[in-house]
Amino acid sequence: MSSERLYRTEAIIIHRRDQGEADRVLALCTPLGKMVVIAKGVRKLRSRKAGHLELFAHARLVLARSRSSWDVITQADTVEPHAALRDDLVRGTYARYMVELYDRFVAEGEGGEPIFDLVRRALGYLCQVEMDRAVSLLARAYEQRLLTLVGFRPEWDRCVGEREGHACGRPLGAEGNEALGLDPERGGVLCPECYQANRKQRTVLSLSPAALDLLRACQRQSFARLQSYPAAPALLVEVERAMLHYVTYHLEQNVRSGTFLRRLRREDKN
């Protein structure tokens, strides 16, 4: 095997499946894009690579290109194990939700360094934050940053509705009590007048001004700063529902790990 066939990359392991008697096929988030590769012999007891290729781990890899199948991992070293995401059910479920969104929105061969950096930082913060509103805010911020990078950035500043055949474009404030509308088909928020005109449409969801303010913060503020945002539990639930509605519309399917996460939280409250 000549050295020209070898290349290096960092990677986050987003999911794995067994192949044959001892191999494992891995889906990776890398600065080079989304990749599917194979780790030969990794399930053998004496494999040196196995501990570096755990789910959610951040690793440095050396791979050999293959013309007929998946590229082969020849060397692996751990950068950050993210062990807390495998040892804690709730953290692990949030991590599965984040990587599932990546997997659904990003096709193989697409993506790149900005998305890799987003996934890496989000999993790192997920290992550290307290399991209360901070982790919910982290998930909302991650959703919005990912949507921006894959071309589905929501519009929170101006009304995306239409009046008499023309775009409304009204600047949206986050004050007052009039209900706004979330319209994923048009890509953002409807002002009170446009919401009333379109509220019977199946894709339009009611949205409070306070939720709009929090959605803006999740889109623009850093993870570290967002942790101190004063959000009541009811507001967190509303914003989660809004983002689930937006994400599901654009994926055209439910996010399995998101459904399990909500069920897990309900059981925990009981």
Tell me which of 78, 96, 128 is where a domain ends: 128
Tell whether 4 and 112 lie within a shared domain.
yes
Is the model's pLDDT at 23 over the cut of 50? Answer: yes
Alpha carbon distance 231, 137 (integer Å) = 9
Tens digits of residue pLDDT in 102-142: 999 999 999 999 999 999 999 999 999 877 788 999 999 99
Residue 2 — pLDDT band, cuts 50, 70, 90? very low
pLDDT for the residue numbered 1: 40
Instruction: Give me the count of residues in the chain.
Output: 270
Tell whether 19 and 108 lie within a shared domain.
yes
pLDDT for the residue numbered 266: 67
Alpha carbon distance 178, 174 (integer Å) = 10
Tens digits of residue pLDDT in 161-206: 998 889 999 999 877 789 999 999 999 999 999 999 999 999 999 9
Report the predicted TM-score, pTM, of the whole model to 2 decimal places.
0.91
Tens digits of residue pLDDT in 203-241: 999 999 999 999 999 999 998 889 888 899 999 999 999
Domain that holds residue 221: 143-270
Q: Tell me whether residue 173 is in a domain.
A: yes
